[in-house]
Amino acid sequence: MTVKKYLFFISQNYSFSILRPIQTQALNRGDKVAWFVEGDAVDKELFDDDEQQLADLSAIFVFSPDAVLYPANNAPTFLPGINVAIFHGFDAGKLDKKGNNDHYKDRRCFDLYCTQGPESTREFLALQGSPKKFNVIETGWSALDSLFASDLPVISNNAKPTILFCSTFSKRLCAAPHLLSIIKQLSESGRWRWLVQFHPKMSRNIVDSFKEIESEYLTFVETSDVIPLLKQADVMVCDTSSVMLMFLLQHKPVVTFKNINPKAHLFDIQTPAELEQAIEYVLTRPKALMDYIQSFINEVHPYNDGLSALRVLVAIDKTIEDKASLASHPKDFIRQFKMRKKLNYWRF
């Protein structure tokens, strides 16, 4: 097989945990990988010594990748190689300003969508149109390969049940300020062990307020890799953040606070006063709730073999072969002008 070159185009620290499983599989195949950092939100100290970083766009053209992988919603269309959408999360039901689902959109810049399960596959196939402008290939999500790396059950081995609290940074949907007081109270009781982790865009004031309530039974964790926390916890408390969907895939329950679309696989509450009783209830793993969670898994991400990254590479191989038969995207001059301005690249 011909050696292929992949470029990982990143702008957030969480991209490492999404793309490194693909890097491992690519290097195992004898392929080449390079990284490019857009913006200033990525901590470059997180790079390993043996990971190749490209300094600018001219270096990308010299590297000449066969495929560019984006854990993002948008991508420039003027770089070499096919554009591959590797999602940065699951559909949490968030809506755009027009009231449309913000997750399922064709933004006219990808040649391949690597979908996570039957639900997302159906949604993107519905966007393909005719003639076909992009491939939709179901691979599972590479970020979860390490979650399913072992054949052993993913359960907590802590003496006390562990509760993981995560919250979105969106002010309209964020549960953190509303639940701060009750989480402080519950953690001080010592009944359960608490872990708290937020999205990197979370307000600094909220982050600081939770750091202030750290104690013997509550730990605030700053990390770009949430997988170890998902493995440790028995229950998640959340709002409308997509990280809760990753937690559910372990067949573990989630208590949500004012979720915008509280389906049967979630246990939703409307007031902070309900939190303690809700946690007590889901810790019993009631059969009806767990059956709904299994149905959710079957639709959203049925892959538990830890090989989604390998399937991504196979999907890229196929799309490179198919590229000549794919129709061109309609030109999106405004979006691509903004992308060129952001990257300060004006060659045509």
Q: How confident is the model at residue 158 (pLDDT cuts 50, 70, 90)?
A: low
Q: How confident is the model at residue 335 (pLDDT cuts 50, 70, 90)?
A: confident
**Three-class secondary structure of residue 88 per DSSP:** coil
Average pLDDT over residues 146-150: 82
Beta-carbon contacts of 208 under 8 Å, excluding residues fewer than 6 positions away, are none
Q: How confident is the model at residue 91 (pLDDT cuts 50, 70, 90)?
A: confident
More confident residue, 255 or 334: 255
Average pLDDT over residues 141-160: 72
Domains (range + CATH), the chain: 5-147+303-343 (3.40.50), 162-300 (3.40.50.12580)
Check if the beta carbon of residue 249 is closer than 8 Å to that of residue 297: yes
Q: What tokens does 319 get?
A: 């799309």
Query: What is the spatial distance between Cα 340 and Cα 38, in angstroms, rounded to a whole number?
Result: 12
Beta-carbon contacts of 203 under 8 Å, excluding residues fewer than 6 positions away, are 169, 171
> 105-133 pLDDT, tens per residue?
888 999 999 999 999 999 999 999 899 99
Is pLDDT of 248 > 70?
A: yes
Q: Where does 193-348 show beta strands of DSSP type E?
A: 193-198, 218-220, 235-238, 254-257, 267-269
Query: What is the spatial distance between Cα 78 and Cα 333, in angstroms, rounded to a whole number?
Result: 12
Is pLDDT of 64 > 80?
A: yes
> 264-279 pLDDT, tens per residue?
999 999 999 999 999 9
Distances (CA, A) of 261 to 140, 274, 298: 23, 18, 19
Is pLDDT of 332 > 80?
A: no
